[in-house]
């Protein structure tokens, strides 16, 4: 099988998954008994203006036709208008998307190298005190829910013990998140602490496997310097599984952002989602759910392809 064909097949599956997800999201949100027209009108709801608004929103049409209408619009790039803000969903979420992307990007940039180095070093110093204590520490952080970790950080570094960082993020209108560098420290730290355990533990396991493999043994026997053994042979071959886990973690960041942004009052897509859920802003909920689903599917796709590309063994099978 050629790599091209492989990518194409994964792409087809990703697309299928997205369509299934979109249908599930749509029917869970739009098909359920809660009436968005009532939500929008609130206390102003009278039978007449409810009817009128339902017609405007297209809620009087059959569910299936609503779904295909929505899907067609989404494909055309029209994500609808937010019920509550009356802004187009893309205008409303644009800046927030950037804000979320920022903390996730920094979270990734910080956590991946730390994790790779930590995991690699743990593997090299296997069964040492460093290895066992780090493995214990990563396990502890892996088990903690984000809101527990975040609240812990707030108690320690923002309110009760030290007052080093602000407990909430506060961005000026249109200002970039890096304009408040102190404010983003704790949210990013929470995300990083959530990511490091998984990637570093995978890296350790993968590295251990590679270090014990025959070809590293061979390389050593051939007299390749230890430095070259590690950098040229062991490290690259250990990266495959790490790509998988990193992809999962980028996707995890998207989900984790919901909690972290709520906790720190951060104006990103995660807090937009919780807010939209609170006020039943269906177009925003639907778009964000789809967006998050797409990020999941896409990162997994990239990870699969990257794994194939970096792992010499798999690369040859595909050829």
Residues within window 64-83 making contact with other proteins, judged by CB under 8 A: 82
Instruction: Supply 92's token pair.
Output: 């409303």
Binding flag, residue 278, other proteins (CB under 8 A): yes
Name which of residues 24 to 43 contact other proteins (CB under 8 A): 24-25, 28-29, 32-35, 38-39, 42-43
Binding flag, residue 20, other proteins (CB under 8 A): yes
Q: With respect to other proteins, which residue has the nearer C-beta, 216 or 279?
A: 279
Name which of residues 180 to 239 contact other proteins (CB under 8 A): 198, 201-202, 204-205, 209
Phi/psi at 88 (5° precision): -70, 145
Output Rg (C-alpha) for the chain, integer angstroms. 24
Q: Looking at 134, 189, 190, 300, which residue binds other proteins (CB under 8 A)? A: 300
Binding flag, residue 248, other proteins (CB under 8 A): yes
- Report which secondary-structure segment, H or E, holds 212: none
Stretch that binds other proteins, among 13-21, 64-72, 215-223, 230-238 (CB under 8 A): 13-21
DSSP conformational letter for 31: S
Cα–Cα dist 110/59, whole Å: 46
Provide the 10 A C-beta neighbour count for residue 223.
6
Instruction: Name the minimum Å distance from CB 279 to other proteins.
Output: 5
Q: How many residues belong to the site for other proteins (CB under 8 A)?
A: 85
Task: Judge contact between 21 and 290, C-beta under 8 A.
Answer: yes
* Phi-psi label, residue 67: left if phi above 0, alpha if psi -120 to 50, beta otherwise: alpha
Nearest of 263, 212, 220 to residue 237 by alpha carbon: 212
Per-residue binding string, other proteins, 152-191, x by CB under 8 A, is x-xx---xx-----xxx-x--x------------------
Instruction: Name the minimum Å distance from CB 308 to other proteins.
Output: 18
Q: With respect to other proteins, which residue has the nearer C-beta, 106 or 292?
A: 292
Instruction: Name the minimum Å distance from CB 319 to other proteins.
Output: 26
Cα–Cα dist 185/171, whole Å: 14
Q: 316: which residues sit within 8 A by CB, 6+ positions away?
A: none
Q: Looking at 66, 271, 307, 311, which residue binds other proteins (CB under 8 A)? A: 271
Q: 305: which residues sit within 8 A by CB, 6+ positions away?
A: 3, 6, 7, 10
Phi/psi at 296 (5° precision): -55, -55
Identify the burial level of 89 via C-beta atoms within 10 angstroms of its C-beta, where 0-12 means exposed, 13-18 middle and 19 or more buried: buried
Q: With respect to other proteins, which residue has the nearer C-beta, 28 or 231?
A: 28
Instruction: Name the minimum Å distance from CB 243 to other proteins.
Output: 12
Instruction: Name the minimum Å distance from CB 28 to other proteins.
Output: 5
Q: With respect to other proteins, which residue has the nearer C-beta, 41 or 216?
A: 41
Binding flag, residue 269, other proteins (CB under 8 A): no
């Amino acid at each position: 099988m050629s790599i091209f064909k492989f990518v194409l097949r994964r792409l087809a599956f990703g697309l299928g998954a997205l369509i299934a997800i979109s249908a599930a999201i749509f029917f869970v949100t739009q098909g359920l008994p809660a009436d968005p027209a009532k939500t929008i009108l609130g206390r102003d709801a009278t039978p007449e203006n409810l009817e009128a608004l339902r017609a405007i929103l297209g809620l009087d049409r059959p569910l299936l036709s609503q779904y295909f209408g929505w899907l067609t619009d989404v494909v055309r790039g029209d994500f609808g208008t937010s019920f509550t803000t009356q802004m187009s969903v893309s205008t409303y979420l644009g800046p927030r998307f950037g804000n979320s992307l920022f903390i996730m990007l920094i979270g990734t940039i910080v956590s991946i190298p730390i994790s790779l180095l930590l995991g690699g070093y743990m593997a090299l110093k296997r069964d040492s005190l460093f290895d066992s204590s780090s493995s214990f520490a990563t396990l502890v952080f892996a088990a903690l829910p984000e809101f527990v970790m975040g609240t812990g950080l707030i108690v320690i570094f923002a309110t009760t013990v030290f007052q080093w960082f602000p407990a909430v993020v506060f961005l000026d209108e249109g200002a970039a998140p890096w304009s408040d560098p102190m404010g983003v420290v704790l949210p990013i730290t929470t995300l990083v602490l959530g990511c490091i355990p998984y990637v570093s533990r995978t890296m350790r396991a993968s590295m251990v496997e590679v270090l014990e493999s025959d070809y590293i043994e061979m390389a050593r026997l051939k007299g390749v310097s230890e430095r070259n053994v590690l950098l040229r042979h062991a490290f690259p071959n250990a990266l495959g599984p790490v790509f998988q886990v990193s992809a999962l973690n980028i996707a995890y960041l998207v989900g984790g952002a919901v909690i972290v942004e709520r906790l720190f009052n951060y104006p990103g897509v995660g807090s937009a989602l919780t807010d939209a859920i609170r006020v039943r802003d269906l177009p925003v909920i639907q778009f964000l759910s789809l967006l998050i689903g797409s990020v999941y599917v896409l990162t997994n796709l990239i990870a699969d392809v990257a794994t194939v590309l970096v792992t010499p063994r798999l690369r040859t099978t595909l050829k």
